[in-house]
Amino acid sequence: MKIEDVQVIVSSPTRNFVTLKIRTSDGVIGLGDATLNGRELAVASYLRDHIGPLLIARDPSQIEDTWNYLYKGAYWRRGPVTMAAIAAVDMALWDIKGKVAGLPVYQLLGGASREGCLAYTHATGADMPELIDSVHRQLELGYRAIRAQSGVPGLDGVYGIGRSDDVDYEPAGRGARPSEETWDTSAYLRHIPSVFEQLRNQFGHELPLLHDAHHRLTPQQAARLGKDLEPYDLFWLEDVTPAENPSALRLVRQHTTIPLAIGEVFNSIWDAELLLREQLIDFIRCAIVHAGGITHVRKIWSMAELYQVRTGSHGPSDVSPIGLAAALHMGLSAPNFGIQEHMRHQPLVDEVFRHAYRFDDGYLHPGDEPGLGISLDEELATRYPYECAYLPVAHLPDGTVHDW
Ligand code: EZ4
Ligand code: CO
């Protein structure tokens, strides 16, 4: 069996997705997610112009060899564009292998280690009453763990806060330029502990609560926030400092016992290596789509296992159902699975990408269809062409561009 056709499909059913479709000489179809929020066309070109032609006539069963051919063969390694493109090929080849074997991918990865993958979703509110309402709504949907994000007094808009009763704050804005937001770390640090105090008063101490700081703090600020939040027993505090500098976490760790999660922007095991080896985090957040696919993330997760670090895969709505399915097959089988982020897709997205995975009573399960369990309605997808959309840019009150 050989790879006969490679196609890149860019579509925007409510938001942009880049999808790779590989067809073999036996007519087996494999699908991969290559979506990189705000930089979608760069990955599409990498796949169309550089990777696609190299895949023709290769043996689709040789997943590891193809991964190394694309990674080492390019000379230019790593980076989100390269690694999202390789990830898409990798997912598509695992999908094909599962379909050929007649098995769901989690069976190829060693079989189920649990009955389902615990999921968390987002609750957001501009103020406390809105946030409390939002948590109630997510609990009614069956979620057993909640990430809570809140508006900050004095700041007009904060990324990650939903519009009205809709927690799907993504895509943050469509148009040729990103929107601009003002950020003030001092105001944020003063406000957030009271948010979690009120959530604990309202919802009790057993509900797992998470919070995301979006890489905006210095190590000292992160240590302070961790200490201030300790009484509220968070499941994790996410992305406290910019993720390029793992040694920043040493200072944070010395001052707080709050569980730390990092890695949604990681694209290589080398981004995580020091954090894992020095046990500076408790959860590794890389997404299958942004870190080289199942083949590479499996290695990151295995390294994490040695250091008692559990997984918490990135799962916002910009990870397509294909990328989410890949995370669920891995999550069901990995011994050190921790939790899976789940920001539900809009109904139109679920129509374009029909999926075998299901959400039931707080847990996600990848389903038992052969491969990843996704079928693409290509005709429907092509009715929604790409639309330029970006994540916002954050400024300090004086106009300085800030981390986020
Ligand atoms: O900022 O998905 O944990 N989730 C997040 C998301 C990310 C976006 C980036 O594409 O931080 O909101
Ligand atoms: Co995050």
pLDDT at res. 62: 98
* Domain co-membership, 81 together with 184: no
Quick: pLDDT tens for 229-263.
Answer: 999 999 999 999 999 999 999 999 999 999 999 99
* Domain co-membership, 28 together with 115: no
User: What is the CA(266)–ligand 1 centre distance, in A?
Assistant: 12
pLDDT at res. 330: 99
User: What is the CA(149)–ligand 2 centre distance, in A?
Assistant: 11
CA 346 to chain centre: 16
- How many domains does one find in the chain? 2
Q: Given the residues 46, 106, 159, 384, select the one marked as catalytic.
A: 159
* Domain co-membership, 180 together with 265: yes
**385 within domain boundaries:** no
Q: 55, 85, 104: which is the final residue of a domain? A: 104
Q: 75, 104, 133: which is the final residue of a domain? A: 104
Measuring from each residue's beta carbon to the nearest atom of ligand 1, which residues come in under 6 Å?
37, 160, 212, 214, 264, 314, 316, 318, 341, 391
Averaged pLDDT, 153-177 = 73
pLDDT at res. 90: 99
Task: State phi, psi for 194 to the nearest 5 degrees.
Answer: -70, -30
* Domain co-membership, 184 together with 317: yes
* Domain co-membership, 91 together with 220: no
Q: Given the residues 122, 211, 214, 314, select the one marked as catalytic.
A: 214
pLDDT at res. 156: 84
**347 within domain boundaries:** yes
**380 within domain boundaries:** no
| Residue 173 pLDDT > 80 | no
Nearest CA to ligand 1 atom 8: 316
User: What is the CA(316)–ligand 1 centre distance, in A?
Assistant: 6
What is the per-residue burial (b if ≥16 Cβ within 10 Å, else e) of 163-179? eeeebbbbbbeeeeeee
159 is catalytic: yes
> Which domain covers residue 292, as residue numbers?
108-368
214 is catalytic: yes
User: What is the CA(204)–ligand 1 centre distance, in A?
Assistant: 27
Question: Which residue has 């669920």 as its token pair?
Answer: 328
Q: Give the atom of ligand 1 at the shortest distance from the alpha carbon of 341.
A: 3
Quick: pLDDT tens for 308-367.
Answer: 999 999 999 999 999 999 999 999 999 999 999 999 999 999 999 999 999 999 999 999
Which contiguous run of DSSP H or E holds residue 341? strand 337-341
CATH code of residue 64: 3.30.390.10
**384 within domain boundaries:** no
* Domain co-membership, 79 together with 214: no
Q: 360 and 119 in contact (C-beta within 8 Å)? A: no
Contacts of residue 171, defined as CB under 8 A and 6 or more positions apart, other chains included, come to 15, 16, 37, 318, 389
Q: Give the atom of ligand 1 at the shortest distance from the alpha carbon of 316.
A: 2
**396 within domain boundaries:** no
CATH code of residue 323: 3.20.20.120
* Domain co-membership, 291 together with 267: yes
Ligand 1: which of 146, 212, 340 to mutate, most ligand atoms within 8 Å of CB? 212
Of 331, 338, 288, 330, nearest to 310 by C-alpha is 338
**Mean of all residue pLDDT scores within the chain:** 96
* Domain co-membership, 211 together with 336: yes
* Domain co-membership, 216 together with 321: yes
